[in-house]
């Protein structure tokens, strides 16, 4: 996709305009599924204009329709995230409201107890919960066991996946793993780094293009392409994997105690 | 005719005009006892070693850079605890190098192209080394003699003539760096054999304040920086508020992007083929150099993220410079070689990004715009999700 320009040939302009119209229609459809109605049109417009100008290069993970849709969904979510961040920045310039009775700034405790949930909200949340639960099942019970089978000895890979999942779910910390593996004050940094390198290899195996097959796609992407999941579910599996396997580093910790905050 | 005029006339004969030259970089040549330690460093991290061997040596890059910066006198710290000073002290006790020894010289001009240079203290012999064995050639003087093509290991050895004048070219013959010798220095000047874009003209045409600030930095910049800024203008302006649905419905798609954002694309399309080729070759060399640096970072990433914290934003900006040029090349109907070079680089970049914690590049406006404009750009702000699987 690239911007039309009157200085180009009519054929080239038509080609560019057709691409824009096609992507815009798909983005509107995807936005209805993934973005709330409030500023949906703004996000779609912003993303379209930015993509036209950036003309992203041909990349393997947008090579098929499924990958391209996931790419656009990610782009829409990022526009929403940017707007949220802008709202937070703007809020810093607005004075904290004061309580009418005391004249002191209102805090979260002073807020009125108003139940904002409507039946529609409850239904939407239930649907989201169901989608998340199914995505978790697909990722951990279907995709990862299949991907692990390609390894000669999948035990270590699966153990690392279990650790990363437990860290994500706050059932475990990197600090606890270092303790479990016999780290001492003297060896803390070494053991922590060993754990990090192991997690790095695990992420690489699952999410990166295999180094020995540079023209291939990441193993999780390949699994998703074959699995034929509904687009909403495939998106949710991607989002979940993104969150679960994001590195979480106890940067401040260099000794065994006290337990650092992850 | 003085020496400067002589060099200029010889460069003109090769098609290189003064406007194509970047700023001069001075590399001190004089022999001092310090060279002894440089030779030790050179031996320890032998420059002919493979990258795999180099990676096996912890802190290879750091020690190498320290040794390099120490060759430049102005880089030596006054603080005795600084590594550079400690190295110098160590050096003063080291034996003098053999007459034929070649010494590494730190050069940011060469770094940007993924090349290293070694010279003998008298400035007679020269060795140019490509980190990944990339192809290039060296002309040992500025006359049209046959160029010395780098060998399979990416090394070209030349004996300098004509006051040490030489020209480093891409494998296709596009000039990249011109060098010469004076009594105390080896001097290097990057060559950008394409006409730089008129970014000053465009600065006043954009209403994006951040972009105006960026473009104003390009007023005295070299042609590579100015070309990258042109690409940034084409890519990274904030979208104006537009009713896109209405524009599409009425067939006014040409109003989606402003005239000033189209101007760099038109400039690129109007470049002569030889200049497009030179721009692409420069971008390819820079992509290869960045790929090497990313590989180094990936291999040394550790749990405290110290390596990444220091270098990540800078690496991302380098990648974005290349992306800005890539866009212009695409608009100019070329860029396939650059796309191929970027494929390997981006694979490594994604691998690094996947293993970084968020927040390393927060508050970087340029990288925010990158992330919002291309979710698959691994070099976009880590505040946003990247699409890489």
Instruction: Kindly report, residue by residue over A205-222, the tens digit of the pLDDT.
Output: 999 888 777 678 889 999
| Contact status of A168 with chain B (Cβ, < 8 Å) | no
- Copy the structure tokens of residue B24: 């001069």
Last residue of a domain, one of A39, A72, A91: A91
A236/A126 same-domain check: yes
Is the Cβ pair A57, B342 closer than 8 Å?
yes
A135/A234 same-domain check: yes
| Contact status of A187 with chain B (Cβ, < 8 Å) | no
Measured in angstroms, the CA of A218 and the nearest CA of chain B are apart by 6
Angle at B238 between CA B235 and CA B244, to 5 degrees: 95
Question: Which position has the higher pLDDT, A252 or B158?
Answer: B158
Contacts of A81 in chain B (CB under 8 A): 383-385
Give the pLDDT score at B275: 96
Give the pLDDT score at A254: 59
Q: Which of A54-63, A92-101, B296-305 has the highest mean pLDDT?
A: B296-305
The values of phi and psi at residue B37, to 5°, are -70, -30
pLDDT of B115 strictly over 80: yes
Residue A163 belongs to domain spanning: 119-244
What percentage of chain B reaches a pLDDT higher than 90?
46
Residue pair B278/B193 in contact by the 8 Å Cβ criterion = yes
Confidence band, pLDDT 50/70/90 cuts, at residue A65: confident
Calculate the CA B42 to chain-centre distance: 23
Is the Cβ pair A56, B385 closer than 8 Å?
no
In this predicted model, what pLDDT tens digit does every residue of B116-166 receive, in sequence order? 998 887 778 889 998 776 788 998 877 756 888 888 888 988 888 767 888
Confidence band, pLDDT 50/70/90 cuts, at residue B100: low
| Contact status of A255 with chain B (Cβ, < 8 Å) | no
Question: Which position has the higher pLDDT, B311 or B191?
Answer: B191
**Mean pLDDT calculated for residue range B160-183:** 86
Contacts of A200 in chain B (CB under 8 A): 301, 355
Is the Cβ pair A78, B254 closer than 8 Å?
no
Which of A39, A50, A64, A177 is the mutation pick for testing B, counting most B CBs within 10 A? A50
Poorest-pLDDT segment among A76-80, A209-213, B90-94, B122-126: B90-94
Give the pLDDT score at A249: 65
Give the pLDDT score at A150: 87
Give the pLDDT score at B172: 84
What are the DSSP calls for chain A, one per residue? Answer: -----TTS-HHHHHHHHHHHHHHHHHHHHHHHHHS-STTHHHHHHHHHHHHHHH-PPP-GGGSSHHHHHHHHHHHHHHHHHHHHHHHHHHHTTSPPPBPTTT-SBP-GGGS-------HHHHHHHHHHHHHHHHHHHIIIIIIHHHHHTTSSS-HHHHHHHHHHHHHHTTS--HHHHHHHTT--TTTHHHHHHHHHHHHHHHHHHHHSPPTT-TTS--HHHHHHHHHT--HHHHHHHHHHHHHHTS-----S--SSSSPPP-
Measured between CB atoms, which of A3, A57, A249 is closest to B339? A57
pTM: 0.82
**Mean pLDDT calculated for residue range A137-152:** 94
The values of phi and psi at residue B167, to 5°, are -135, 125
Contacts of A13 in chain B (CB under 8 A): 254
Give the pLDDT score at B349: 93
pLDDT of A137 strictly over 90: yes
Q: How far apart are CA B238 and CA B282, in angstroms?
A: 28
* Domain membership flag for residue A156: yes
Q: How far apart are CA B19 and CA B189, in angstroms?
A: 12
* Domain membership flag for residue A174: yes
Give the pLDDT score at B93: 35
A20/A67 same-domain check: yes
A51/A143 same-domain check: no
Question: Which position has the higher pLDDT, B190 or B64?
Answer: B190
| Contact status of B187 with chain A (Cβ, < 8 Å) | no
Q: How far apart are CA B19 and CA B197, in angstroms?
A: 12
Contacts of A204 in chain B (CB under 8 A): 351, 354
Give the pLDDT score at B122: 74
Overall domain count for chain A: 2
Poorest-pLDDT segment among A64-68, B5-9, B68-72: B68-72
**Mean pLDDT calculated for residue range B66-90:** 36
A54/A125 same-domain check: no
A79/A158 same-domain check: no
Closest of B89, B122, B128, B125 to residue B110, by C-alpha: B128
Is the Cβ pair B376, A71 closer than 8 Å?
yes
Residues 344-373 of B with CB under 8 A from A: 344, 346-347, 350-351, 354-358, 368-369, 371-373
pLDDT of B177 strictly over 50: yes
For chain B, give the secondary structure using H, E and C.
CCHHHHHHHHHHHCCCCHHHECCCEEEECCCCCCHHHHHHHHHHCCCCCCHHHHHHCCCHHHHHHHHHHHHCHHHCCCCCCCHHHHHHHHHHCCCCCCCCCCEEECCHHHHHCCEEEEECCCCCEEEEEECCCCCEEEECCCCCCCCEECCCCCEEEEECEHHHEEEEEECCCCEEEEEEECCCEEEEEEECCCCCCCHHHHHCCCCCHHHHHHHHCCCCCCHHHHHHHHHHHHHHCCCCCCCHHHHHHCCCHHHHCCHHHHHHHHHHHCCCHHHHHHHHHHHHHHHHHHHHHHHHHHHHCCCCCHHHHHHHHHHHHHHHHHHHHHHHHHHCCCCHHHHHHHHHHHHHHHHHHHCCCCCCCCCCHHHHHHHHHCCCCCCCCCCCCCCCC
Q: How far apart are CA A9 and CA A16, in angstroms?
A: 11
Contacts of A44 in chain B (CB under 8 A): 244
* Domain membership flag for residue A77: yes
**Mean pLDDT calculated for residue range A77-82:** 95
What percentage of chain A reaches a pLDDT higher than 70?
82
Give the pLDDT score at B219: 79
CA distances from A76 to A29, A44, A182 (A): 12, 7, 45
- Copy the structure tokens of residue A101: 């009775």
Poorest-pLDDT segment among A146-150, A194-198, B85-89: B85-89
- Copy the structure tokens of residue B172: 């296709």
* Domain membership flag for residue A1: no
Measured between CB atoms, which of B261, B357, B389 is closest to A249? B357
* Domain membership flag for residue A2: no
ipTM of the complex: 0.82
CA distances from B121 to A78, A147, B36, B138, B183 (A): 55, 57, 11, 19, 11
Give the pLDDT score at B77: 34
The values of phi and psi at residue B355, to 5°, are -100, 10
Measured between CB atoms, which of A62, A192, A217 is closest to B376? A62
A151/A207 same-domain check: yes
Sign for the CA dihedral angle at B186, B189, B190, B194 comes to negative
A85/A123 same-domain check: no
* Domain membership flag for residue A5: no
What percentage of chain B reaches a pLDDT higher than 70?
80
Confidence band, pLDDT 50/70/90 cuts, at residue A261: very low
* Domain membership flag for residue A23: yes
User: B302 forms bridges with which residues in the sheet?
Assistant: none
pLDDT of B270 strictly over 90: yes
B256, with CB counted inside 10 A (0-12, 13-18, 19+), is buried
Closest of B166, B222, B181 to residue B22, by C-alpha: B222
* Domain membership flag for residue A46: yes
- Copy the structure tokens of residue A257: 């105690």
């Amino acid at each position: 996709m690239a911007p039309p320009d009157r200085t180009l040939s009519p054929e080239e302009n038509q080609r560019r305009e057709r691409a824009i119209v096609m992507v815009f229609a798909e983005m509107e459809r995807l936005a209805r599924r993934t973005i709330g109605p409030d500023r949906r049109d703004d996000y779609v417009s912003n993303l379209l204009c930015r993509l036209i100008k950036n003309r992203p290069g041909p990349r393997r993970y947008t090579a098929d329709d499924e990958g391209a849709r996931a790419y656009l969904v990610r782009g829409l979510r990022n526009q929403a995230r940017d707007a949220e961040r802008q709202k937070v920045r703007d809020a810093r310039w607005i004075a904290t409201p004061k309580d009418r009775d005391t004249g002191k700034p209102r805090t979260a405790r002073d807020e009125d107890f108003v139940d904002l949930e409507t039946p529609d909200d409850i239904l939407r949340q239930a649907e989201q919960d169901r989608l998340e639960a199914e995505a978790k099942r697909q990722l951990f019970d279907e995709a990862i066991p299949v991907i692990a089978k390609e390894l000669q000895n999948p035990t270590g890979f699966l153990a690392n996946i279990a650790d990363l999942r437990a860290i994500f779910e706050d059932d475990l910390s990197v600090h606890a793993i270092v303790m479990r593996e016999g780290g001492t004050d003297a060896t803390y940094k070494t053991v922590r780094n060993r754990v990090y390198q192991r997690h790095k290899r695990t992420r690489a195996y699952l999410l990166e293009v295999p180094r020995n097959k540079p023209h291939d796609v990441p193993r999780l992407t390949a699994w998703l392409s074959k699995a034929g999941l509904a687009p909403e579910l495939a998106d949710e599996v991607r989002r979940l994997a993104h969150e679960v396997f994001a590195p979480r580093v106890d940067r401040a910790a260099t000794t065994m105690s006290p337990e650092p905050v992850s | 005719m003085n020496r400067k005029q002589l060099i200029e006339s010889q460069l003109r004969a090769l098609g290189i005009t003064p406007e194509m030259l970047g700023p001069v970089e001075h590399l001190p040549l004089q022999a001092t006892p310090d060279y002894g330690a440089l030779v030790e460093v050179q031996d320890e991290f032998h420059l002919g070693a493979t990258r795999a061997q180099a990676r096996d040596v912890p802190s290879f890059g750091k020690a190498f850079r320290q040794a390099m910066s120490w060759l430049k006198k102005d880089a030596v710290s006054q603080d005795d605890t600084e590594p550079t000073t400690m190295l110098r002290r160590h050096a003063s006790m080291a034996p003098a190098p053999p007459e034929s020894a070649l010494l590494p010289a730190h050069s940011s001009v060469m770094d940007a192209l993924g090349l290293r240079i070694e010279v003998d203290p008298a400035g007679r012999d020269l060795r140019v080394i490509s980190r990944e064995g990339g192809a290039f050639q060296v002309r040992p003087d500025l006359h049209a003699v046959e160029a010395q093509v780098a060998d399979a290991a990416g090394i070209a050895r030349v004996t300098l003539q004509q006051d040490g004048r030489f020209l480093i070219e891409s494998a296709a013959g596009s000039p990249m760096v011109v060098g010469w010798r004076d009594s105390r220095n080896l001097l290097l000047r990057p060559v950008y054999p394409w006409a730089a874009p008129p970014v000053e003209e465009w600065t006043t045409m954009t209403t994006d304040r951040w972009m105006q600030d960026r473009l104003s930095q390009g007023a005295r910049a070299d042609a590579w920086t100015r070309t990258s800024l042109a690409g940034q203008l084409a890519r990274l302006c904030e979208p104006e508020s537009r009713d896109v649905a209405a524009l599409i419905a009425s067939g006014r798609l040409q109003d989606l992007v402003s005239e000033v954002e189209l101007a760099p694309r038109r400039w690129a399309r109007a470049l002569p083929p030889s200049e497009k080729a030179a721009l692409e070759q420069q971008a390819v060399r820079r992509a290869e150099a960045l790929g090497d640096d990313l590989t180094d970072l990936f291999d040394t990433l550790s749990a405290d993220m110290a390596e990444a914290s220091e270098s990540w934003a800078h690496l991302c900006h380098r990648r974005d410079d290349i992306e800005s040029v890539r866009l212009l090349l695409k608009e100019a109907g070329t860029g396939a070689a650059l796309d191929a070079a970027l494929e390997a680089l981006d694979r490594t970049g994604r691998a690094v990004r996947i293993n970084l914690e968020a927040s390393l590049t927060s508050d970087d406006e340029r990288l925010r715009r990158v992330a919002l404009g291309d979710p698959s750009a691994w070099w976009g702000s880590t505040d946003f999700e990247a699409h890489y699987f």
